[in-house]
Amino acid sequence: MTTLTIKEQHELLRREICHCGRAKKRGHAFCHRCFNRLSHATQDALYARVPGFGESYKAAVEELKGKMGNASPRYREKARGVASGGRSWFGEE
């Protein structure tokens, strides 16, 4: 698993859109809905300071990808970037 650069980590935290396409607060890695879908261990890992944040974020995205089978079709489309016409936040093309 590749890690995020410091610049990518800062850009991620400055974004106001979660990887799923929903609004999120600046300084947060995920929107409330996505964050609550994560295991408690993953949630705790996201509070780690740099350099641990990048690895924790990537692991959290992988965990959310595994839970997408339980998500609505609209949520899955947004998460893949289809609804927004953009690139997937999961790193899929």
Over residues 24-74, the pLDDT tens digits come to 999 898 999 999 999 998 888 887 665 677 778 888 888 887 776 655 566
Q: Amino acid letter at 15?
A: R
- In angstroms, the CA 90 to CA 20 distance is 9
Residue 22 · residue 76 · CB < 8 Å: no
Question: In this predicted model, what pLDDT tens digit does every residue of 68-93 receive, in sequence order?
Answer: 665 556 655 665 554 444 555 444 43
pTM (two decimals) = 0.59
